[in-house]
Chains A and B, each alone.
Chain A
Amino acid sequence: MTKRTHVSAVVNGDAVDFLTDPGVTLLDALRDELGLTGSKEGCGSGDCGACSVIVDGRLVCSCLMLAAEAEGRRIETIEGMAEGGVLHPLQSKFLEHAALQCGFCTPGILVAAKALLAVNPDPTESETRYWLAGNLCRCTGYDKVIRAVMDAAAEMRQAKVTA
């Protein structure tokens, strides 16, 4: 049998250890080893974005990263987005704007949108659309998704001003 690799990483703020086969993707490790099934596999080739996670502050497709590469890395998934049961403004705005239908692409879009607002708190519609071009959604036509992201950005900017 293949020798398994030991990986220590920080996932959603918690230290985790797991064993992985060297050819296994981070997505499979998150889902199968760590039970974090919020990240989805829609294509396995980096074309749909449903598996989006943030690794050391940068947005990646977890299907395009080996689990073994996660050694020492800090990983954020959809499961870490709400804090202590309180939804992130993006999550609230997605609900408010009805920006999801089947919801399968939603975790990836939310993680990607969070990464967008971290580098660009005031994106234009066009910037938002291009940033999210790697997140396929087949249900919504993107209209309400884009509105929700921009509305959340506005709310987060406002919260920063008043904080």
Chain B
Amino acid sequence: MSDVLDRPATVALKVVGTRPIRPDGADKVTGKATYGADFALPGMLAGRILRSPHAHARIVSIDTRAARALLGVKAVVTAADLPDLASEEIEGGESATNLRDVSLNVLARDKVLYEGHAVVAVAATSAAIAETALRLIVVKYEVLPHVVDVEAAMAPEAPTLHDDMFTQGVEPRPATPSNIAKVNELKRGDLAAGFAAAEVLVEGRYVTAAVHQGYIEPHACLADFSADGQCQVWSSSQGQFVVRTLCAKVLGLKAADIRVIPAEIGGGFGGKTTVYLEPVALALSRQCGAPVKMVMSREEVFRATGPTSATVMTVKLGATRDGKITAAEVVLKYQAGAFEGSPVGAGSMTALACYDVPNFVVTGYDVVTNGPKVAAYRAPGAPMAAFAMESAVDDLARKLGMDPIALREINAVRDGVKAAYGPTYRNIGYVETLEAIRDHPHYAAPLGPNQGRGVAAGFWFNIGGESTVAVNVGDDGTATVITGNPDIGGSRASMAMMAAEVLGLPIEKVRAIVADTASIGFSMVTGGSRTTFATGMAVSQAAEKIVADCKRRAAQLWDVGIELVDWIDGAAVCLDASKDKKDMSLAALATQAGRTGGPIGAQVSLNAQGAGPGFGVHVCDVEVDEETGHVTILRYTAAQDVGKAIHPAYVEGQVQGGVAQGIGWALNEEYIFDRDGRMENAGFLDYRVPVASDLPMIDTVLVEVANPRHPFGAKGVGEVPIVPPLAAVANAVRAAIGVRMTELPMSPPKIRAAMDAR
């Protein structure tokens, strides 16, 4: 592959692997950094959205006359102002996106499919006027029966969300519409034979609640449409290019007419890989000619964006007495929300990814329900499947009387093993990660009464994909790295570090920025744990190009053959001793750039392949209050194969953050719906994300099994750490109370009830 640069392991790294201050840090600690809601333009209007109060209803009529007549109201937009798109799948963020669904989600057309579904948007001279206008809009609904629960939605008598949805993946094609959008199956070997060979069986049914990404920054954007059809959007997202693509399609605009300027992003975790407000703000601005700013309330964020799927899953495992898993049967039912596209495919592919199992069937159901359309959430689909599988493996270890890590080692995937989802593993570090936990002092530390320890493993693919990067050298020999990937967790630091490493510059001489869609070439979203890998590869290649170019320039200036020029510590070195040439720094070359071909810079566009899959193994200690069922996380250690930590502090941060989200998922987070299908806890008061006092320090062990496909050996790190915690906590609770908790969240009432049932 041309996009692979092999660096000899003997090259000592000077920047990569260190912990410099991030380049965007100062602005973030002083309040200067500008996020989606922080932009303003002269004459800016406030946009607001009227949302459905019903979980499922037909829109009979929309009367906006009174709202339009209100002084200060400048634009009113409904789905009638958008083109009625045909069903068309495009590669969106981490998964395929159906354009018609995106359009119907940003403004409902004939039906509302969940409480909070956008129906009408208004722009006015003040937020107060816009809100008053919303109250003047009359929408007549014919309320329809709704369904929230995934298994209820699969039942033949369930109310159907989409008349044109016929289950894909079953033969023959069903004659009647259904809420089951798709069935997928992964299989290998002979399941019946595998179970027949088993001496021990375990089985379980597992249920998880819908949980939200919970980024602290609500969605926000500012859109400005000019009279000639060109427009600009300032928006907080995980990908300015996906915003551009989706806005162009939803509004019928040309991509080149839309310039999307990425704001600082206040957390995304997958949830900001699509659009909600941007096309609506553009439509409003197009109608009135003034810039329109839209900012969601927290309530809107909960009701109308994210979350990830609620699930019902079953796992059946068979094994020999010596611990070899002979068969696995896994069924995953994932709720997709209003439109198809739950991450059940990824859930199915990851469910057995840590295990070398000869016989298995994994069946996944993608099921639409009356709830907000699910969005990607950190390793989409994998944490739930891992909760089911890792709980079952824990039960198996207990039944076999084996140490849970020893059992996992017996069945662990290794290099050369064909993954359950297809490819053959190369350069994976799963066994090393298991060993890191097995040998960690935490694993042997004593426990007190009512305390328990759980371990769980997790897997995520990590992806590569398309990125564009430019590196430009200034006349003083400093360098600017320009990427198209929003920086969520410190990627400007890692990008600058990789460039500095290749160029031989100190990190202080390299700055990285995230450019708008008109200023850099296409880049896929910051998601899929791809940025350090794929965009980092592009950075490294661009810097290599500059080094090669600088060698050529030095050779020209020195009048020697290019093979006699080396690049050491940021300077050209003449290998021809007879020439007695002083080393020529990047700065020296830059000042003479005009004489050697003009400005020094390079751009690389690539489609990175060879992202190394990541594995994590976590160990968690809990204490359960016997009387109240309250779980306290006492200690937590997470080991993960990261390939190579470019900036170890931010890699640790990714791991710690993923663990915290996983603990929240395990213990307290959930969407709660009332009998009318309305969310009852659309705020941070009752949607309970972990607070600082809920958690202990989270210890990390970074295992580095290099990925040879990346110039520095990096693997994606951001998503793996949310995969094991659900089961790690559940397994610890199992050890503490002697009861297997099969339903998340494991809130105190559920634990108390389970203890009563012992």
Which A residues form the contact surface with B (CB < 8 A)? Answer: 21, 31, 36-45, 47-48, 50, 77-79, 81-82, 87, 91, 94-98, 100-107, 110, 125-126, 128-130, 132-147
Residue-wise, chain B 694-730 has the 8 Å CB interface mask toward A (1 for contact) of: 1101100000000000000000000000000000000
Residue pairs across A and B with Cβ atoms less than 8 A apart, 14 shown, are: A38-B30, A38-B31, A41-B37, A42-B218, A82-B30, A101-B650, A103-B264, A104-B266, A105-B266, A107-B31, A132-B692, A137-B216, A138-B269, A140-B656
CB of A51 to closest CB in B, whole Å:
11
| Interface pair B218/A143, CB less than 8 Å apart | no
| Interface pair B216/A104, CB less than 8 Å apart | yes
Residue among B29, B264, B685 with max Cβ neighbours from chain A (10 Å): B29
Complex contacts, A110 vs chain B, CB 8 Å: 29
Given contacts A106-B29, A145-B692, 15 further A-B contacts (CB under 8 A): A48-B216, A87-B29, A94-B29, A100-B25, A101-B489, A102-B264, A102-B265, A103-B28, A105-B216, A133-B693, A136-B684, A138-B215, A138-B660, A141-B658, A141-B659
Complex contacts, A39 vs chain B, CB 8 Å: 31
Residue among A39, A97, A130, A137 with max Cβ neighbours from chain B (10 Å): A137
Contact of A101 among B35, B37, B657, B697 (CB under 8 A): B657
Contact of A142 among B32, B298, B658, B692 (CB under 8 A): B692
| Interface pair B217/A96, CB less than 8 Å apart | no
Task: Answer whether residue B488 sits at the interface, using C-beta atoms and an 8 A cutoff.
Answer: yes
Contact of A41 among B218, B268, B490, B656 (CB under 8 A): B218
Q: Which residue of A lies closest to B35 (CB)?
A: A104
| Interface pair A144/B649, CB less than 8 Å apart | yes
Complex contacts, B264 vs chain A, CB 8 Å: 102-104
| Interface pair A143/B30, CB less than 8 Å apart | no
Complex contacts, B656 vs chain A, CB 8 Å: 140-144
| Interface pair A102/B488, CB less than 8 Å apart | yes
CB of B193 to closest CB in A, whole Å:
44
Task: Answer whether residue B38 sits at the interface, using C-beta atoms and an 8 A cutoff.
Answer: yes
CB of B597 to closest CB in A, whole Å:
39
Which B residues form the contact surface with A (CB < 8 A)? Answer: 19, 21-22, 24-26, 28-35, 37-38, 128, 213-218, 264-269, 295, 297-298, 488-490, 647, 649-650, 652-654, 656-661, 683-685, 689-695, 697-698
Give the docked Cα–Cα distance between A126 and B697 (Å).
11
| Interface pair B19/A98, CB less than 8 Å apart | yes
| Interface pair A136/B689, CB less than 8 Å apart | yes
Give the docked Cα–Cα distance between A139 and B695 (Å).
14
The 3 A-B pairs of least Cβ separation, nearest first, read A38-B31, A104-B266, A103-B28
| Interface pair A129/B693, CB less than 8 Å apart | yes
| Interface pair B26/A87, CB less than 8 Å apart | yes
Give the docked Cα–Cα distance between A84 and B150 (Å).
57
Contact of A45 among B30, B295, B659, B685 (CB under 8 A): B685
CB of B493 to closest CB in A, whole Å:
9
Complex contacts, A45 vs chain B, CB 8 Å: 298, 683-685
Complex contacts, B24 vs chain A, CB 8 Å: 103
Give the docked Cα–Cα distance between A50 and B489 (Å).
18
Contact of B489 among A106, A139, A143 (CB under 8 A): A139
Complex contacts, B657 vs chain A, CB 8 Å: 101, 138-141
CB of A157 to closest CB in B, whole Å:
21
Contact of B697 among A43, A97, A143 (CB under 8 A): A143
Give the docked Cα–Cα distance between A118 and B216 (Å).
26
Give the docked Cα–Cα distance between A93 and B401 (Å).
47
Complex contacts, B490 vs chain A, CB 8 Å: 98, 101
CB of B126 to closest CB in A, whole Å:
9
Query: How many contacts A-B (CB < 8 Å)?
Result: 181
Give the docked Cα–Cα distance between A126 and B696 (Å).
9
| Interface pair B215/A79, CB less than 8 Å apart | no
Complex contacts, A79 vs chain B, CB 8 Å: 30-31
Q: Which residue of A lies closest to B295 (CB)?
A: A41
| Interface pair A96/B661, CB less than 8 Å apart | no
CB of B129 to closest CB in A, whole Å:
10
Give the docked Cα–Cα distance between A21 and B489 (Å).
38
Complex contacts, B650 vs chain A, CB 8 Å: 98, 101
| Interface pair A42/B31, CB less than 8 Å apart | no
Give the docked Cα–Cα distance between A50 and B37 (Å).
13
Q: Which residue of A lies closest to B266 (CB)?
A: A104
Complex contacts, A40 vs chain B, CB 8 Å: 35, 37, 216-217, 266
| Interface pair A36/B31, CB less than 8 Å apart | yes
Give the docked Cα–Cα distance between A128 and B35 (Å).
27
- Asked whether A37 and B30 contact (CB < 8 A) given A97-B649, A102-B264, A136-B684, the answer is no
Give the docked Cα–Cα distance between A106 and B32 (Å).
11
Contact of B26 among A47, A95, A139 (CB under 8 A): A95
Give the docked Cα–Cα distance between A146 and B692 (Å).
8
Give the docked Cα–Cα distance between A144 and B654 (Å).
11
Residue among A97, A110, A132, A142 with max Cβ neighbours from chain B (10 Å): A142
CB of B502 to closest CB in A, whole Å:
23
Give the docked Cα–Cα distance between A102 and B264 (Å).
8
Complex contacts, B652 vs chain A, CB 8 Å: 98, 143-144
Give the docked Cα–Cα distance between A139 and B216 (Å).
9
| Interface pair B649/A98, CB less than 8 Å apart | yes
- Asked whether A103 and B26 contact (CB < 8 A) given A96-B21, A129-B693, A133-B692, the answer is no
CB of B29 to closest CB in A, whole Å:
4
| Interface pair A43/B31, CB less than 8 Å apart | no
Contact of B31 among A21, A77, A126, A143 (CB under 8 A): A77
Give the docked Cα–Cα distance between A43 and B722 (Å).
24
CB of A34 to closest CB in B, whole Å:
12
| Interface pair B684/A48, CB less than 8 Å apart | yes
Q: Which residue of A lies closest to B21 (CB)?
A: A95
| Interface pair A103/B684, CB less than 8 Å apart | no
| Interface pair A126/B693, CB less than 8 Å apart | yes
- Asked whether A95 and B695 contact (CB < 8 A) given A101-B653, A139-B267, the answer is no
| Interface pair A143/B217, CB less than 8 Å apart | no
Q: Which residue of B lies closest to A132 (CB)?
A: B692
Complex contacts, B488 vs chain A, CB 8 Å: 101-102, 139
Give the docked Cα–Cα distance between A45 and B657 (Å).
24
CB of B604 to closest CB in A, whole Å:
26
Contact of A141 among B214, B268, B295, B698 (CB under 8 A): B698
Give the docked Cα–Cα distance between A130 and B264 (Å).
29
| Interface pair B684/A37, CB less than 8 Å apart | no
CB of B356 to closest CB in A, whole Å:
32
| Interface pair B649/A37, CB less than 8 Å apart | no
Q: Which residue of B lies closest to A36 (CB)?
A: B31
Residue among B24, B295, B297, B684 with max Cβ neighbours from chain A (10 Å): B684
- Asked whether A47 and B684 contact (CB < 8 A) given A42-B298, A105-B216, A143-B698, the answer is yes
| Interface pair A102/B215, CB less than 8 Å apart | yes
Contact of B28 among A106, A132, A146 (CB under 8 A): A106
CB of A116 to closest CB in B, whole Å:
11
Give the docked Cα–Cα distance between A140 and B649 (Å).
11
Q: Which residue of A lies closest to B32 (CB)?
A: A38
Q: Which residue of B lies closest to A103 (CB)?
A: B28
Give the docked Cα–Cα distance between A125 and B695 (Å).
11
| Interface pair A103/B683, CB less than 8 Å apart | no
Give the docked Cα–Cα distance between A61 and B683 (Å).
16
CB of A142 to closest CB in B, whole Å:
4
CB of A145 to closest CB in B, whole Å:
7
